[in-house]
Every structure is written in C-alpha cells, then in structure tokens.
C-alpha cells in the first residue's frame, strides 16, 4: 500500500511538472494564467512567478488582470523579493483603485520597505521611504485593520532613525579633542535634542552636551573661559532637571565641582 501511495505521488508530481513546463512554452494566455494561479494556491510561488512574469504585460491595466496582479505581487512578497513586491503592490493599488484588495496592497507595499530597512548603522534611505509610505497608509486608511501593525512599524522605524541620529551626534563627541571639534559636537547634540525631544536617548544626549561644554570651557583661552564655564553650568542644570537620579550624575557632579572651583578665580 505504501509503495502504491508513493507511486501515485510521483505520478502527480511528474504531471504537475509537465503542466508547468507546458504552460511556460504555451501561447495560450488563459491556460498560462490558470496554471500560475494553481501553482500559487499550492504555495509554489517561484514557479507561479515565472508564468506571471510572462503574461503580466498582456493583462496590465485590464479589469481581468486584477486577480492576476494581486497574486503576482503576493508571489514576490512570499518569496522575499521585497523591492519587486513593493513596486507591484503600489502598481496594483494605483491600477485598481476600487479593488477590495487595495487596502491590503497599500499596507503590504509599505511593509515591503519596512522589511528592507537595514540596521541603524547603515544608510537609512529605505527606512525613510518605509516611514513615508507607512505614514501615507495610516493617513489614507485610519480605520484599517492593519493600523495596529502599521503604528508598530512606524514606532520601530522612528526609533531606528533616532538611534542613527544619536550615534552620529555621539561620534562628534567621541572624536572631539580641540575647540573647533567641541563646538561641532555641541551643535550636533543640540540639533539632536531639538529634532527628537521625546527620544529615549535624551538623558545621555544631555549629559554628553554638558560634558562637551565642560571640555570646551576647560580648554578655552582665558578671556572666553568664564563665559564658557557658566554656559557649561547651565547645561548641567538642564541635564539634572531632566533626570535628577541619572546614572551619569556622579561624573557630572565631579565636573561641576571643577567648574565651581575654576569660577572662583573670576569672582576675586
């Protein structure tokens, strides 16, 4: 019995392969479409794609192409070809504005760019594109069933951009060792804090800004030193006001004590 079942499976498999090869070579669009759809329903997306790619130009923009282009797009998506899937989903949503699948296509198209978004340390072009497309989806379909997932993606993408921006600003601080570089670090940290007021990196950014202001003051020429010491002390106040029990407070307090000691010479 087991041998018989295996034999039947082999026959079915060979028949399926034969139909696939026949469809690839056929000039009959309807037959090719039916075969591709059958392969899609069986989860054989790579094979379905080869046929969809052959017949897509003949159906583009036509009403009868709606189902084909949806499955075509999903086949790219299901095989992890997210650039192509994103393009096809956007094309589908544009070509079939009244389709019941349009909302899903718009979401999946935006999600494709989310999946292409790299880790924060790399170029964030795809992250920016994904965020823009996901925000457009949220604005267009505020009551969508996909809204919880879309909001989750937006939060994650924004945090990634924040992390990238913070690491860039932090790098200015790390490499600074003279007055010009201290000023560049201060500007970078100021811009980060201004651009991302609710960032989870604000505590460390405020501490680094204070630390940079301290280094700039301590390495200043004499006629600018008092002014910069006072400015550093103001930065300390902003830092402590934001996080009184910060993990960076002990180091910050040591620098503040040095600032107060240095300022004494100007009060005499």
Give the DSSP H/E element, type plus range, for residue 6.
helix 2-25
73-118 pLDDT tens trace: 999 999 999 999 999 999 999 999 999 999 999 999 999 999 999 8
pLDDT above 50: residue 15: no
Residue 173: Cβ within 10 Å count: 22
pLDDT above 70: residue 2: no
Q: Rounded CA gap, 93 and 103, in Å?
A: 8
Six-digit token string for 49 = 């794609």
> What's the mean pLDDT in 33-56?
95
Give the per-residue pLDDT at 8: 42
pLDDT above 50: residue 218: yes
pLDDT above 70: residue 12: no
Question: Which of 68 and 11 is assigned the larger pLDDT?
Answer: 68
Give the per-residue pLDDT at 27: 84
pLDDT band with cut points at 50, 70 and 90 for residue 11: very low
Q: Rounded CA gap, 214 and 203, in Å?
A: 17
Q: Rounded CA gap, 159 and 148, in Å?
A: 17
Six-digit token string for 224 = 């600018």
From the list 129, 140, 131, 79, the residue with the least C-alpha distance to 105 is 140
Which residue in this structure is represented by tokens 């794609």? 49
Q: Residue 27 contacts by C-beta under 8 Å, 6 or more apart in sequence?
A: none
> What's the mean pLDDT in 125-142?
94
pLDDT above 90: residue 176: no
Give the per-residue pLDDT at 7: 43
State the architecture of 176-268 in CATH terms. Alpha Horseshoe (1.25)
> What's the mean pLDDT in 108-136?
90
In the three-class reduction of DSSP (H, G, I as helix; E, B as strand; rest coil), residue 122 is classed as: coil
Which residue in this structure is represented by tokens 């086949």? 75
Sign of dihedral through CA atoms 77, 82, 87, 93? Answer: positive
Give the per-residue pLDDT at 268: 63
Q: Rounded CA gap, 201 and 106, in Å?
A: 32
Q: How far is CA 184 from the centre of its chain?
A: 27
pLDDT above 80: residue 155: yes
Give the per-residue pLDDT at 211: 96
pLDDT above 50: residue 9: no
> What's the mean pLDDT in 7-23?
59
Give the per-residue pLDDT at 5: 47
234-257 pLDDT tens trace: 999 999 999 999 999 999 999 999
Give the per-residue pLDDT at 252: 97
Six-digit token string for 54 = 């052959």
195-213 pLDDT tens trace: 999 999 999 999 999 999 9
Give the per-residue pLDDT at 243: 96
Give the per-residue pLDDT at 62: 86
Mean pLDDT of the chain: 90
Question: Which of 7 and 260 is assigned the larger pLDDT?
Answer: 260
Long-range contacts of 156-159 (CB under 8 A, 24+ apart): 156/114, 157/114, 157/117, 157/127, 157/130, 157/131, 158/131, 159/200
- Per DSSP, the residues of 68-103 read HHHHHHHHHHHTT-HHHHHHHHHHHHHH-TT-TTHH
Give the per-residue pLDDT at 6: 44
Taking each helix axis as running N to C, give the angle between helix 249-267 and helix 222-242, from 0 to 180 degrees, rounded to the nearest 10.
140
In the three-class reduction of DSSP (H, G, I as helix; E, B as strand; rest coil), residue 108 is classed as: helix
């Amino acid at each position: 019995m087991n041998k018989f079942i295996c034999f039947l499976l082999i026959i079915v498999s060979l028949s399926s392969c034969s139909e696939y090869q026949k469809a690839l070579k056929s000039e009959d669009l309807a037959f090719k479409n039916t075969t591709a759809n059958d392969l899609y329903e069986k989860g054989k997306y790579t094979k379905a794609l080869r046929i969809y790619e052959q017949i897509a130009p003949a159906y583009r923009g036509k009403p009868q192409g709606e189902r084909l282009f949806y499955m075509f797009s999903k086949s790219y998506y299901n095989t992890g070809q997210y650039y192509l899937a994103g393009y096809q989903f956007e094309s589908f949503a544009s070509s079939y504005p009244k389709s019941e699948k349009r909302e899903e296509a718009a979401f999946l198209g935006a999600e494709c760019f989310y999946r292409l978004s790299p880790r924060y340390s790399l170029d964030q072009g795809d992250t920016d594109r994904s965020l823009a497309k996901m925000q457009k989806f949220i604005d267009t379909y505020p009551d969508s069933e996909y809204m919880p997932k879309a909001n989750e993606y937006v939060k994650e993408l924004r945090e990634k951009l924040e992390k990238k921006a913070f690491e860039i600003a932090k790098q200015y601080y790390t490499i600074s060792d003279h007055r010009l570089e201290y000023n560049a670090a201060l500007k970078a940290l100021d811009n980060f804090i201004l651009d991302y007021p609710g960032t989870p990196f604000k505590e460390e950014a405020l501490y680094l800004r204070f630390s940079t202001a301290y280094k700039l003051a301590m390495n200043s020429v004499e006629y600018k030193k008092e002014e910069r010491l006072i400015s550093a002390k103001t930065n300390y106040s902003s830092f402590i006001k934001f996080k009184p029990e910060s993990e960076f407070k002990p180091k910050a307090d040591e620098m503040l004590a040095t600032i107060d000691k240095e300022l004494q010479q100007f009060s005499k």
